[in-house]
Each structure stands twice: as C-alpha cells, then as structure tokens.
Chains A and B, each alone.
Chain A
C-alpha cells in the first residue's frame, strides 16, 4: 500500500493496487465543524479529477467534496450517510467517503505528502 496523499481541497487518498480510498482530512472537519449531512457519488459513476464527488454539510453551510483523481466509483461508505457525525470522529480512517478504480496513476503525483499538506493547511487557515 502506498503512502497517503493529500489535495489542496483537503481530501486524503490512499492507493491500494488500482483502487483508491478517499476521504476528507481532520483539518477539513475542524474547519467545517459538526458535520450533519453527507452525500456520496453513485456507485458505478465516473468522476473526474478535481470534480465534485459529494457534499458535506455542517449546521452552518454546505461544502462540496472533490475527488483528487479520476476514476470509477466502486464503493461508497453508507455508514457516514447514516451517521455523519462519524466523519468528525474518525475522518482519516473509518469515515472514508468513496473508493475509485483509478484511471491514471500519474494523477497521484500532483498531490501532496503529509508534511507538505500539514504546512499547506497551517498556512491557509491562519
């Protein structure tokens, strides 16, 4: 399994073979506050890098969730739809959003590693 990568839109992505698991970062959940609604892409649909692939809503506002790479949606996490508070509790593990069969592995190279993302998150939030 490869290292976890991060996007500027605050998604994380973990690649296992040609299947990527994608979710939103802890930093993103802290910015959003209590998440009370999640909408995921449909299984079997195709999503394009940097395109919308879901929505999360806090009590305050709705925010789009983007996909950091292109691919076909092979699985979604119904548990976070049924109980969105799970996203705040465990955003970077059990509260993943969707899994993609990726189209172009080279898209992974455009993403940040953990150190770079942490730096980016700190700079953009201050």
Chain B
C-alpha cells in the first residue's frame, strides 16, 4: 500500500522534518531542534501539530441521530450543547475499546475525530450500527492541525479573530481566506490550545502564518512525551480491545445519566465493573532515578510477583525524569504503592502515582 502524505508534507520538508511511517502516513517524528526542545517550546510558547492523519467523520442528522448515537456512546448527547465536545470511546459489546475519540455536536449533526489507525474500521462499525440511515463522510479533503501551548490563543486569534473567546471543549465555525474552518478549544498535550479543521488547499497557508506569528511545528515524538506527561492515553498502547473504559480509569468520561439507564453497547459490563470493581486498572508509575520503563515492561510487587505491565513509558522533558503508565492488579493501584520494574533483566524501584505527571497551573482572569 502506498504511504500517504498530508497536505503539510512540503512544509514539513521545508522545516527539515525527520519522517516516520505512522498508520499508513508519512509523518514528522521531529524537526531539527529535537523532541526535548519541541516539547519545551510547546509548554512555554506554542506548537503546531499536523494531525491530518486522524479521521474527521461528519455524520449528518437530527433527533434520530442523537438517539442512535446514544445507543453507541456512553454520553448524554441529548443535553450536549451545540458546538460542545466530549471525549468518548467506541466499544464492543464486552466494553472493549475499538477507539477513543472526541465527538462534537454541530449544527448539522456530529463531528467525530478518530485515531488514524482506527478510522476506517470505526467508519465501517458505525455505518453498520447506524444502518446507513445517515449521511456519513470520513472527510479526506480536510486537514487537521492542533496548536497547543500558552501563546497559542493569542497567535491564532491574531489570524482568526474571536477564537480566544471559545471555552475549553467547545468550538465553532470561523473563516480563513473565505474558507469555513471548524475550530475547537481542545488538544492532547495538557496545554491550552485549539484543533483546526480546514480544507487541504488552505492548511499550508494557515500553518505558515501561525509560524510567522511565532509558533513552531512540533513532531509526533514530542506529541507523545507531552500527552504522556499529561496522563492521556494513546490508543493501541494504553487502550485496546482487551481493556474497558473502567479499567482504563476513564469512568469520568461516562455520563452518569446514561449509566443509570444503561442501553448502550457495552453498558452491561460497564455497570457491572462500576458496581463490583475491576481486577486491573490503569495507573501512573514514577520510576525512581532515571531508568526508563517502556511499553511491555513487567511490573512486580514487593514479593516479586508480577502484578502488571507498562503500556507507555518515556522520559518527560518537563518533569525532567522518566514517566510511565500501565495496568496493575487493583489491590496494588493505590497511590505511593512501591513496585518494581524489570528493565534489561534488573528490577528497578518505582511507585504508583496519580496522573497527570505535569499539570499546568493556570492563573486566569488576573489582570
């Protein structure tokens, strides 16, 4: 299969990107400054991420669509306000996660942002579940960029006036070069920021303008360290079909209103796990010292019995030390529990910690 390129490919090349194949796309893993500098620049200034490989699924419909989607997603979509977004998951009947996603209510229906590696399968699943009653477009003609970090609001607002008034997890249509762009205040770095859905032919121009205003392109490498410091899950690593949202410690994303009624795919298992507890659960793990415990690292208790496995682990540039997440048996999931991580045949001490590893201390509305 031919490797796809996003509409920003030329710009990535102009910025000396190192490329890597990701989910069938040629994507920038980093630029000349490197992952650590890119990570810090995003935390301190503003970084632009090309996430055009992700799926932008528009589903058109009204009241019936809301009812049908509520049978699929554990969300109170009926009461979701227009242009507001929610984090959710597409589950199978056993509550195993097919994908995690962001769903936004638009004036014509819903926009769902899907993971690149899952989007075609998600589309198939949703089409079957919705019985082809609604027009569904997995839009290949639009690009998606994220701009993240404390300076992003001002930078983007200088180009597209009004975006700074958006609240977190809400969006709207704006205009750039007479093109309709859909902008949400969201992201996946633990920073304030926006995601911008824009026609392929205009994304290069917008991105170059953002760079001229002081933002910089950031690669997938820093995207990974940023999201891990923020305690956010990466599908295919921290989430997959063998894990449920309750096990993934994401029950905050399940609507209480919907739990009381059930009646969505996987609801039996979700309700059972919420009532009875789970045997394994996702936790943050902080290794002592500098040792990095990567995905598949085995986790042991103090009696040398394996109690789990790391699902994501790296060096966190803002934390200035190693960070990891993984699943452990529930009885070992309490904060500050001492565990051991087996790296290259040796056991290294670590402790269970709360997420995120890095939290922004915003001060808003001071001046």
**What is the interface of chain A, defined by CB distance below 8 A to chain B?**
33-34, 36-37, 55, 57-62, 81, 84-85, 88
Contact = CB atoms under 8 A, between A and B. Distances in A.
Contacts of A85: 36
Contacts of B225: 59
Nearest to B228: A59
B34 A37 contact: no
Contacts of A58: 35
Interface of B is mostly: mixed
Interface in B286-321: 290-292, 294, 314-315, 317
Interface string B142-181: 0000000000000000000000000000000000000000
A36 B30 contact: no
B131 interface: no
A55 B35 contact: no
A59 B291 contact: no
A59 B344 contact: no
A58 B29 CA distance: 13
Given A57-B292, A60-B35, A37 B315 contact: yes
B221 interface: yes
A34 to B, nearest CB: 4
Q: Quick one: which of A36, A57, A58, A59 has the most chain B CB within 10 A?
A: A59
A37 B35 contact: no
Given A59-B225, A59-B314, A59-B317, A37 B292 contact: yes
Contacts of A37: 290-292, 315, 322
B90 to A, nearest CB: 29
A33 B294 CA distance: 17
A34 B34 CA distance: 6
Q: Which 5 A-B pairs have the closest CB atoms?
A: A36-B315, A34-B36, A59-B35, A34-B34, A57-B292
Contacts of B224: 59
A60 B317 CA distance: 12
Contact of B36 (A36, A55, A57): A36
Given A60-B29, A62-B292, A33 B221 contact: yes
B321 to A, nearest CB: 9
Given A33-B34, A34-B36, A62 B294 contact: yes
Contacts of A60: 29, 35, 221, 314
Nearest to A64: B344
A6 B35 CA distance: 27
A59 B221 contact: yes
Contact of A57 (B34, B221, B315): B315
A88 to B, nearest CB: 8
A62 B314 CA distance: 10
Contacts of B221: 33, 59-60
Given A36-B292, A36-B317, A88-B34, 8 more contacts: A34-B34, A34-B36, A36-B315, A37-B322, A59-B35, A59-B314, A59-B315, A85-B36
B255 to A, nearest CB: 36
15 contacts: A33-B30, A34-B35, A36-B36, A36-B290, A36-B292, A37-B315, A55-B344, A57-B292, A57-B315, A59-B36, A59-B224, A59-B225, A59-B314, A81-B290, A85-B36
Contacts of B322: 37
A55 B343 CA distance: 11
A49 B30 CA distance: 34
Contacts of B315: 36-37, 57, 59
A120 to B, nearest CB: 21
A55 B109 CA distance: 52
Interface string B220-251: 01001100000000000000000000000000
B269 to A, nearest CB: 35
